[in-house]
Homo-oligomer: A and B are copies of this chain.
Amino acid sequence: MNSGYNLEAIEAAPLKDDLDIVIPTIRNLDFLEQWRPFFQQYHLIIVQDGDPSVKIKVPEGYDYELYNRNDINRILGPRASCISFKDGGCRCFGYMVSKKKYIFTIDDDCFVAKDPSGKEINVIAQHIRNLETPSTPYFFNTLYDPFREGTDFVRGYPFSLREGVPTAISHGLWLNIPDYDAPTQLVKPRERNTRYVDAVMTIPKGVLYPMCGMNLAFNRELIGPAMYFALMGEGQPIARYDDMWAGWATKVVCDHLGFGVKTGLPYLWHSKASNPFVNLKKEHSGIHWQEEMIPFFQNVQLTKEADTAAKCYLELSKLVREKLVKVDPYFVKMADAMVAWIEAWEELNPPSQKNDASAK
């Protein structure tokens, strides 16, 4: 498909003024040393989780801003309670304070992976390629991403759908330690992902998927207000579902607004598995509740009036309050947090700033 995009130019100048890297952490960011050739030209937003008195070291030469819990409380006031504490979900504060078009977020136990030819993978360049080319959510293309060089739409793909739709989310994958839940970690402690699947594909409309926050990029103008990593961690009965929640919500909102979600390349190297016993404790409510949360999201109907990500998300908060409270009273707190999140987002990103663009 001749998409009209200059892929070489994207590769050469990967929009360094249009993308922030958001990193949640509790430790020194030594992992950035290995990423230097790929990340150093970008601005970092570091969200420090846990004890705010800990001093986090960032390798020299990086341009960054760092927020600890005290900063979050100061900036958001009473609404700060919507940002999770002692949970990777705190990263979404970084999405809110960014002023860029694109966000790339990564965990600090992830490193540069190599493709099968041995070449180091430029994750950001691939995410940008995914985000800057259209998605095709309305019909499946058997040769995968039709906008990639050397491939196209196959015979039988309707011509009326070949223009595609704007891409809002690019979900990357992980070599080495796969993103398994605690039960699978316990059953298969030695399983490693060694398979490099050379594909990017659109997740079709109406289909949900487990979105992992470890290697994720998105267009915050299109979908930012729905990319809330939920209320998890300390003080809440659930953890490790922050990204899942955001994945279900953003997919429903993208489907409603006509935006696309891609998954596949780029891979990074996930270095170590988190403790499955600790994870099991964090996850057990989620493992139970996802059996009701997922059907809830599968059946969400948003109205025509919801024509921006923020409006969609407020409608979603009402539906959560109404329908998920029967699962657990926690979902009332969640609905409150969703509203606080949108209020905080809009305060930090007034509409005049072009954020939260309409779908029209």
> Which residues of A are interface residues toward B (Cβ below 8 A)?
116, 139-144, 150-160, 171, 173, 178-181, 183-184, 188, 191-199, 203-212, 240-241, 243-244, 247, 263, 287, 290-291, 294
Among candidates B155, B183, B197, B240, residue contacting A210 with C-beta atoms closer than 8 Å: B155
Contacts of A159 in B (CB 8 A): 183, 287, 291
* Integer count of this chain's copies in the complex: 2
A-B contact pairs, 5 of them (CB 8 A): A139-B294, A152-B188, A156-B210, A156-B243, A158-B291
Contact B198 A140 (CB under 8 A): no
Contact B198 A171 (CB under 8 A): no
Q: In the complex, A29 Cα to B188 Cα: how many Å?
A: 47
Among candidates B191, B207, B244, residue contacting A206 with C-beta atoms closer than 8 Å: B207
Among candidates B142, B191, B204, B247, residue contacting A156 with C-beta atoms closer than 8 Å: B247
Among candidates B152, B196, B244, residue contacting A191 with C-beta atoms closer than 8 Å: B152
A196, A199, A211, A243 pick with most chain B CB within 10 angstroms: A199
CB distance from A153 to the nearest CB of B (A): 7
Q: A204-B204, A294-B158 are in contact. Are A193 and B244 (CB under 8 A)?
A: no
Q: In the complex, A159 Cα to B182 Cα: how many Å?
A: 12
Q: In the complex, A171 Cα to B142 Cα: how many Å?
A: 9
Overall SS of chain A's interface: loop
Contact B154 A210 (CB under 8 A): yes
A155, A179, A244 pick with most chain B CB within 10 angstroms: A155
- Of all A-B residue pairs in the complex, the 9 with the closest CB atoms, nearest first, are A156-B210, A140-B209, A156-B244, A155-B181, A204-B207, A197-B199, A155-B179, A154-B179, A154-B210
Contacts of A181 in B (CB 8 A): 154-157
Contact B208 A139 (CB under 8 A): yes
Contacts of A203 in B (CB 8 A): 140
CB distance from A3 to the nearest CB of B (A): 13
Contacts of A180 in B (CB 8 A): 152, 154-155
CB distance from A350 to the nearest CB of B (A): 34
Contact B291 A184 (CB under 8 A): no
A156, A180, A181, A212 pick with most chain B CB within 10 angstroms: A156
Q: In the complex, A294 Cα to B208 Cα: how many Å?
A: 22
Beyond A150-B191, A158-B291, A204-B204: 14 further Cβ-contacts under 8 Å?
A142-B171, A142-B210, A144-B197, A152-B188, A152-B191, A153-B184, A154-B210, A156-B181, A156-B212, A158-B294, A159-B291, A195-B198, A197-B197, A199-B199
Q: In the complex, A209 Cα to B157 Cα: how many Å?
A: 8
Chain B's closest residue to A243 (CB) is: B156
Contacts of A143 in B (CB 8 A): 173, 178, 193
